[in-house]
Amino acid sequence: MSTGMSAKDVLDLIQREEVRVVDLRFMDFPGLWQHFSVPADTLDLDTFEEGLGFDGSSIRGWQSINESDMLVKPVASTAFIDPFFTAKTLVMICNICDPITGEDYSRDPRNIARKAEAYLKATGIGDVAYFGPEAEFFIFDDVRFDQTSHSGYYFVDSSEGIWNSGRDEQPNLGYKPRYKEGYFPVPPTDSQQDLRSEMMLKLIECGVPIECQHHEVATAGQAEIDMRFAPLVRMADNMLIYKYVIKNVARKANKTVTFMPKPLFQDNGTGMHTHLSIWRAGENLFSGDGYAGFSQTGLWAIGGILKHAPAILALSNPTTNSYKRLVPGFEAPVNLAYSSRNRSAAVRIPMYSKSAKSKRLEFRCPDPSCNPYLAFSALLMAALDGIENKIDPGEPLDKDIYDLAPEELAKVPTTPGSLRESLEALEKDHDFLLRGDVFTPDVVETWIDYKMENEVTALDLRPHPYEFALYFDI
C-alpha cells in the first residue's frame, strides 16, 4: 500500500497506469471488507472532499432504514493497484461520514482506530503505537457445510490432511504432515511453498511489507505469512489487504482459505499473536532494564492488558469458534499472566533480540476472525489505561504451567470460556474504551447486542452433531 500519496498523486497514477476502474472499500461493523466500484474517469479532486453516497442500512450493525444515507470518502494514501481484476483497477480504503453533519461515523471501525491513534497522542504518553499481528490460516481443497431444521454438518478436506494417508489418489504419494507436525518440514511434505510465495509476492506488490512465510504446525495446509509492523490504522488496513490477497490467490489455484480459529478437531487452532510497542519522539517506551529488558512503562501496559483482557477478548476473539481454540490444558494462551518464555501466558515478552528498538509485548490471545480496527484499538486503550493508572501486572509466570500444583494453578486467572462470557465482561468493563471518545457507548452496546443475537443465541438454538453421538440413545 502506498504511503504519502495525495489526491492529485492518485489522479496522476490513474492517468499514468491507464486505470479504468476505481474500487472503494470499507469495513462493516463485524469485520468483513465491503466495496463498490466507479469508472476511473468519474473521480476528481472533489470526490476526496465530498465523498460518494451509499446505503448504510444494508451494512451489518450500521444505520436503520430511516437514516440510511452515508458517504464514503476515499483515503488517497491507501491507494494500490488490484492484482486480480481483468480491467485495471485502483483500490482505495475509505472513511465513512454522515452526509448531513459531515462528521465521521461512530460505528465506522476505521474511525475508531483513527481516534485511538489520536488519543495516544493526546495523552502525551506516546506519538505512535506499532502493531505486528502474526495471522495464521488454513488452505483447504474443499469445504461443505449446511444447517437445516433437521440436519447439520460441516466437511473440510485437504490433499495435505493426514486423514487422507490411506485415500486412493491414483497414486497416493504420501508425504502428508502428521497432526501437530507441520512446522517446518521442507517439500514434498510442505506441498504449498509455491502458493504461499505467490501470496507473499502479491502482498508486496500491493504495498504490504512481508517478513516471512511458512507452513504452520497443523496438518492440512495451515500457514502463516508475517507482515512487518506498522502504526495502528495502517496495520489494520494492511490486515484487510492481507486477507483479501491470500483468499484470492488461493481461489485462483482452486483452493480456499479460512481464518476461522478452530476448523479442525484435535489439531492446532489458528491464532493471531499481536505484537505492540509504544514510542515517543523516536524512543521505544517499552525498552528498559526491568524484567526481560522491559521498562516500568511497559510493565504497566501489560498490567492494563491483563486487567482488561476478558473485555478485550470480546473484540479480539469475537466468534463462538474462537473459544474452541482458547481451551485450558493445551498450548493455548489462556493464562492471564505474563512471561518471557512461557507461551501459555496471555502476554509474552519476546526474547529473540535484546535490541531496544525491537522490545515489545506479544498479546497471544487474539485470532484473525477479529475486526482488526476494533481489536488493535481495544488493545492500545487497555495498555494506555495500565500506564496512566500504573497498574501492576504482578509476578511473571515463568514456570511450566503443566508442572504447577493445583493450588498454585488455581491462583492464575484465565481467559473467558465462551463468547458469551467475553461479551458479559465487556458489558461490565468498558470505561477504558470510552476515553477520548474512541469507542462510544453506542458502539459497545451495538457490538454486544449484535454478537449476542446473531451469533451466541443463534448457536445456542441449534443442535450440535456431536450431541447425537452423546445423547441419541438415552
Q: 246 pLDDT exceeds 70?
A: yes
Q: What average pLDDT does this structure show over 212-236? A: 97
Residue 308 among the catalytic residues: no
Determine the Cα–Cα distance for residues 200 and 202; give it in Å rounded to an integer.
Answer: 6
Residue 50 among the catalytic residues: no
Q: Which of 339, 350, 229 is nearest to 287 (CA)?
A: 350
Catalytic residue among 228, 343, 462, 464: 343
Q: What average pLDDT does this structure show over 214-234? A: 97
Determine the Cα–Cα distance for residues 376 and 219; give it in Å rounded to an integer.
Answer: 29
Residue 424 among the catalytic residues: no
Q: Are 338 and 306 in contact (CB under 8 A)?
A: yes
Catalytic residue among 364, 420, 430, 455: 364
The CA–CA distances, whole Å, from 5 to 1, 21, 38, 92 equal: 10, 18, 20, 11
Residue 216 among the catalytic residues: yes
List pLDDT tens digits, range 5-47: 999 999 999 999 999 999 999 999 999 999 999 999 999 999 9
Beta bridge partners, 33, equal 27
Residue 169 among the catalytic residues: no
Amino acid at 355: S
pLDDT at 473: 96
Q: 467 pLDDT exceeds 80?
A: yes
Q: How does residue 469 score in pLDDT terms, banded at 50, 70 and 90?
A: very high
pLDDT at 341: 78
Q: How do strand 80-81 and strand 222-227 relate by DSSP bridges? A: unpaired
Q: 65 pLDDT exceeds 50?
A: no
Residue 136 among the catalytic residues: yes
Catalytic residue among 134, 190, 226, 455: 134
Q: How does residue 1 score in pLDDT terms, banded at 50, 70 and 90?
A: low
Residue 341 among the catalytic residues: no
In sequence order, which residues have a C-beta less than 8 Å from that of residue 149 and are 6 or more positions away? Answer: none
List pLDDT tens digits, range 162-201: 999 999 999 999 999 999 999 999 999 999 999 999 999 9
Determine the Cα–Cα distance for residues 356 and 66; give it in Å rounded to an integer.
Answer: 53
All cell numbers assigned to 342: 512461557
All cell numbers assigned to 411: 491462583
All cell numbers assigned to 180: 501437530
Catalytic residue among 28, 108, 190, 216: 216
Catalytic residue among 55, 194, 205, 453: 55
List pLDDT tens digits, range 312-361: 999 999 999 999 999 987 778 999 999 997 878 999 999 876 788 899 99
pLDDT at 331: 75
pLDDT at 169: 95
Catalytic residue among 196, 273, 308, 360: 273
Determine the Cα–Cα distance for residues 417 and 424; give it in Å rounded to an integer.
Answer: 11
All cell numbers assigned to 170: 491414483
Q: Are 387 and 301 in contact (CB under 8 A)?
A: yes
pLDDT at 3: 62
pLDDT at 2: 53
